[in-house]
A and B are shown apart, each in its own frame.
Chain A
Amino acid sequence: MKNLFTFYGGVHPPDQKNTSNHPIEEMPIPEKVVIPLIQHTGIPSKPLVSLGDTVLENQKIAEAAGHISVPIHSSVSGKVTDIRAFLHPVIGKPVESIVIECDGKHRVFKPEKTHVDYYRYSPKDLIQVIKDAGIVGLGGAAFPTHVKLSPPKDVIINNIIINGAECEPFLTADDRLMREYSKEVIEGTKIIMYIMDAMKGFVAIEDNKQPAIEIFKKIVFNEPNIDLAVLPTHYPQGAEKQLIKVLLNREVPSGGLPLHVGVVVDNVGTAYSINRAVKEGENLYNRIVTVAGNGIETPKNIKVRVGTLISDIAKFCGGTTKDLAQVIMGGPMMGIAQTSLDVPVLKGTSGILFFTKNDIIDRQYFDCFRCGKCIRVCPMELFPNALSIYIENGRIDEAKAFHPLDCIECGCCAYTCPAQRPIVQQIKWAKTQINKK
């Protein structure tokens, strides 16, 4: 097994992975889906269908609008009933979306060609397949995967890391995927390694997922070029810069990308989707989502179609409790609180958490007393307290001396601050101010 290095800082929130032993359940097809045209980092996709069109499951309904963009596919068969702005769970504002009413017939679009013997095709062809399948990073940021797999010509990628750390509390979607679809994950890893011509691949799993580790131990035994890396449970272990540091002791340069140190990091879900797309021609229109928290009657791991509304998911999971107070898309450390249950699941949605009144944290905060706990936990080795004080006083120019743009927004500082200061929120705000200029 791989020997590991460490990264500075980090925190150990209670992992609360109570759904880790709930097998993935496939959610029945909902009555309607709402598919936003922005589901990835980059340029919004362009719709290819119009009102009244009949579409098939797996059919392309929006095309990529440039290099850093991906197409979008229908997750159900049915009729396009509306194309309008619809509340977006991540952006928080209405975004143009395609509304499809399901016909319940489950008619699936069959691709002309699959690439089961992927090694007979050139990496370039396979990257096109991945782009056409609409694949984005499924860990949360939803960056188009084909862009990651097309580094500049002078860059040599020698390591692939498949990220199964899943360091956010509550989330168990990647854990379940690794347990139930381990072969597909490994096949996807091999496809990525083939495309990048990488010598070595790692599947990285945090040590709080022993059953998944046992499964992968057996699998990698037959894969000479793929190693299993069992990581200590340590938030934000799954952040790509920290993951690379722990596995390879390389530091991604400030402002740089993993490819600058010869590495590509992909989520286990992404590897799984790549395998599906390449070998079976299945485009990315469903994913595994953890539904958890005290505010939902029956927490589950579900396989759900992109565009399914959270309100339908809540119904499928037994409904919400009376004291429901907060709904979060993603994990508790970095997830986004929702203003409404009528928002769709996106390609990048890893979890939906339902919190009750008792789970809500006290947001009253006090002046910084420089205890330095945020400095101890910041995995980017920043001074969150100094940033927080300068930003609070609107002195963004002075805050720049403390490298706000290097912040990965993991939230360790705000999590650990005894004065409960909203440090990461302030830094995020400052980053948008700086980037505006």
Chain B
Amino acid sequence: MNEKKPDNNLIVATSPHVHAPINIQKVMGEVLIALIPAVIASLYFFRLYAFKVLFIATASSVFFEYIWQKVNKQPIRINDLSAALTGILLALTLPPTIPWWMIIIGSMVSVILGKQVFGGLGHNPFNPALVGRAFLQVSWPQAMTTWVTPFDAVSTATPLAIKKLGLQEVIPSYFDLFLGNCSGSLGETSALALILGGIFLIKREHIFAITPFTYIITFIIGILAFGQDVLFHVFSGGLMLGAFFMATDPVTTPMSKQGKFIFGLGCGILTVLIRLKGGFPEGVCFSILIMNMTVPLIDKYTIPKPFGVKKG
């Protein structure tokens, strides 16, 4: 902006003339770093199954981003790592045994329908990875709810499904749920790994603690209100992945702290209602997508008062 070169070759531009050592690639890179514990946990518990899902989702997400930008004659920006991040996040929401072609379709939906059709990074109203997952869930519900046990990959149901449908299977201990030693999506299983990543993101100031905090607290209060097993519900399913990595996606969540609080509150209430009263055993994905829709409205009514304007 306003850049021009006068005769003496001095570069003229407006202040500031220095910039912090940060760019989009570094931000996305640090979110990927925060996902490393969850990725390692998924590889540990689901071995080659996890590797297959992670690899196909990431590679095809980047591929579809590249193709879209190429076809539309846009600058190629796969280096900013946002497509790779979408791919990894999508993979972490998928069951280990999902067929390879569904992963590719999911990635395509995530990147193209979830993000690029709206104008690319920064313009998408919905979390791209969750758009992909929701698409797969309603298109192939069978494959999206086929689960296996860790290590030996024996067919089983998720702890949430066991509980909801009253199946005759053993529910894992709280400790196994916390570590991720249970059936479920790749990255939804290990609460420990996700919390570690979340703390990293908060420390590095990429997300505000208020979103996951409000989400989880609201969720706990909701579960208690229905007289259900709190520890079981908190550590099973996709709550941690959703709270730390999906509900904090800056593009699709409110800007202000009050907005983030309302967003977390809404996600918590919806997740409880879907899990306990709805048709699905898990409600994190749809809760966040529904709350994504409310973001422009929340943003409109939560513009904070600036410095020097009386608060309250």
- Complex A-B, nearest 4 residue pairs according to Cβ-Cβ distance, in ascending order: A411-B16, A369-B122, A254-B308, A367-B122
Inter-chain contact B18/A415, CB cutoff 8 Å = yes
Q: Closest residue to A414 on the B side, CB-wise?
A: B16
- B9 contacts A by Cβ under 8 Å: yes
Give B205's nearest chain A residue, CB to CB: A376
Q: B306 to A340, Cβ gap below 8 A?
A: no
Binds A, one of B19-27, B33-41, B275-283: B19-27
User: Which residue of A has the minimal Cβ distance to B206?
Assistant: A371
B2 at the A/B interface (Cβ < 8 Å)?
Answer: yes
Considering only residues 393-410 of chain A, those with a C-beta below 8 Å from chain B are 401-403, 406
Choose among B9, B80, B307 the residue that contacts A8 (Cβ–Cβ < 8 A). B307
The reply to whether the CB of B208 lies closer than 8 angstroms to some CB of chain A is yes
Asked if B73 is an interface residue, CB under 8 A from chain A, the answer is: no
Q: Determine whether the beta carbon of A385 is less than 8 Å from that of B255.
A: yes
Judge if A228 is at the interface, Cβ distance under 8 Å.
no
Contact with B along A376-393 (1 / 0, CB 8 A): 100111110110000000
A333, B208: Cβ atoms closer than 8 Å: no
Partner of A335, one of B17, B255, B308: B17
Task: Report B247 CB to chain A, min CB distance, Å.
Answer: 14
Q: Determine if A371 and B250 form an interchain contact, defined as CB atoms under 8 angstroms apart.
A: yes
Taking a contact as CB atoms closer than 8 A, the residue among A252, A366, A425, A428 that contacts B24 in the complex is A366
Q: Which residues of B contact A416 (CB under 8 A)?
A: 20, 22
Contacts of B22 in A (CB 8 A): 373, 416, 418
Known: A241-B308, A372-B208. A367 touches B14 (CB 8 A): no
Output the least CB separation between A88 and chain B (Å): 14
- Tell me the B33-51 residues at the A interface (CB within 8 Å): none
Kindly state the separation between the CA atoms of A337 and B12 in the bound complex, as whole angstroms.
5
Q: Check B309 against A253 for contact (C-beta < 8 Å).
A: yes
B307 and A332 contact, CB distance less than 8 A: no
Which chain B residues numbered 216 to 270 have a C-beta less than 8 Å away from chain A?
Answer: 250-251, 255-256
Interface pair B119/A332, CB less than 8 Å apart = no
Question: What is the 8 Å Cβ interface bit string for chain A, positions 345-375, against chain B (1 contact, 0 not)?
Answer: 0000000010100001111011111111101
Asked whether B303 lies within 8 Å of A11 as measured between CB atoms, the reply is no
Write out the residue numbers on chain A whose beta carbons fall within 8 Å of the beta carbon of B121: 366-367, 369
A54 at interface by CB-CB < 8 Å: no
**0/1 per residue, A224-254, Cβ < 8 Å to B?**
0000000000000000010001000001111
B308 pairs with A252, CB closer than 8 A: yes
Choice from B2, B12, B23, B306 contacting A406 with Cβ under 8 Å: B306
Known A256-B308, A361-B18, A379-B307; judge A371-B27 contact (CB<8 A): yes
Q: Which stretch in A212-220, A300-308, A320-328 binds the other chain?
A: A320-328
Contacts of A366 in B (CB 8 A): 24, 77, 80, 121-122
User: Are B10 and A338 neighbours in the complex by a CB distance under 8 Å?
Assistant: yes
Task: Give Cα A11–Cα B301 distance, bound, in whole angstroms.
Answer: 28
Secondary structure of the A contact surface, majority rule: loop
Q: Cα distance A148–B17 when bound, in Å?
A: 30
Complex contacts, A372 vs chain B, CB 8 Å: 208, 250, 255
Give the chain A neighbours of B80 by CB distance below 8 A. 366
Measured CB to CB, the closest approach of chain A to B79, in angstroms, equals 12
Is B167 an interface residue, CB under 8 A from the partner? no
Contacts A337-B12, A424-B16 given: A381-B205 contact, CB under 8 Å? no
Contact present for A339 and B6 (CB under 8 Å): yes
Cα–Cα, bound, A255→B14 (Å): 24
Chain A residues near B3 (CB-CB < 8 A): 363
In Å, the complex CA distance between A253 and B17 comes to: 30
A27 touches B (CB below 8 Å): no
Give the residues in chain A near B10, CB-CB below 8 Å. 324-327, 337-341
Question: Given the complex of chains A and B, what is the CA–CA distance between A177 and B170 in angstroms?
Answer: 76
A325–B250 Cα distance when bound, in Å, is 36
Q: Determine if A380 and B306 form an interchain contact, defined as CB atoms under 8 angstroms apart.
A: yes
How distant is the Cα of A369 from the Cα of B307 in the complex, in angstroms? Answer: 25
In angstroms, how far is the closest chain B Cβ from the Cβ of A315?
15
- Contact residues, B181-224 vs A (CB, 8 A): 205-206, 208
A55→B10 CA distance, assembly (Å): 35
Judge whether A95 is part of the interface by a CB distance below 8 angstroms: no
Taking the closest CB of chain B, its distance from the CB of A403, in whole angstroms, is 5
Contact residues on B (Cβ < 8 Å of other chain), bracket: 35 or more
Q: Does B120 contact A (CB under 8 A)?
A: yes
A–B complex contacts, Cβ < 8 Å, 15 sampled: A332-B15, A333-B17, A337-B10, A337-B14, A338-B12, A339-B6, A363-B13, A367-B122, A369-B121, A371-B250, A372-B250, A380-B307, A381-B304, A381-B307, A425-B14
The verdict on A422 contacting chain B, using a C-beta distance below 8 Å, is yes
Q: Are A369 and B304 in contact (CB-based, < 8 A)?
A: no
Decide: B11 and A370 in contact? CB cutoff 8 A.
Answer: no
Q: A253-B308, A338-B10 are in contact. List 11 more A-B contacts (CB 8 A).
A: A251-B307, A255-B308, A256-B308, A328-B15, A353-B17, A363-B13, A367-B122, A370-B250, A372-B250, A415-B19, A425-B15
A418 and B26 contact, CB distance less than 8 A: yes
Whether B70 sits at the interface, judged by CB under 8 Å, is no
Find chain B residues with CB under 8 A from A328 CB. 15, 17
Please tell me if B168 contacts chain A, counting CB pairs below 8 Å: no
- Are B23 and A425 in contact (CB-based, < 8 A)? no
B205 to chain A: closest CB distance in Å? 6
In the complex, what residue of chain B is closest to A333 when comparing beta carbons? B16
Greatest chain A CB density within 10 A among B8, B17, B310 is at: B17
Give A16 Cβ to nearest chain B Cβ, in Å.
9
B12 and A13 within 8 A (CB): no
The answer to whether A211 has its CB under 8 Å from any CB of chain B is: no
Asked if residues A415 and B16 are in contact (CB atoms below 8 Å), the reply is yes
Smallest CB–CB gap between B117 and chain A, Å?
15
Instruction: State A152–B75 Cα separation when bound (angstroms).
Output: 58
B54 to chain A, nearest CB (A): 24
User: Which residues on the B side are within 8 Å of A336 (C-beta)?
Assistant: 15
- Across the interface, which residues of B come within 8 angstroms of A262, CB to CB? none
Is B205 in contact with A420, judged by CB distance below 8 angstroms? no
Q: Does A317 contact B (CB under 8 A)?
A: no
Which residues of chain B in 110-167 are interfacial with respect to chain A, using CB atoms and an 8 Å cutoff? 119-123
C-alpha gap A365/B121 in the complex (Å): 13
Expressed in whole angstroms, the Cα–Cα distance for A330 and B17 within the complex equals 11
**Residue contact A401 to B16, C-beta cutoff 8 Å:** no
Partner of A325, one of B11, B26, B120, B309: B11
Q: Smallest distance from the beta carbon of A350 to chain B beta carbons, Å?
A: 13
Cα distance, A360 to B307, chains bound together (Å):
32
Q: How many Å lie between the Cα of A335 and that of B15 in the bound state?
A: 6
In the bound complex, CA of A376 to CA of B255 (Å): 10
Return the chain A residue nearest B9 by Cβ.
Answer: A325
Q: How far is the CB of B115 from chain A (nearest CB, A)?
A: 11
Contacts of B256 in A (CB 8 A): 375, 383
Among residues 296 to 312 in chain B, which have CB atoms less than 8 Å away from a CB atom of chain A?
A: 299, 303-310
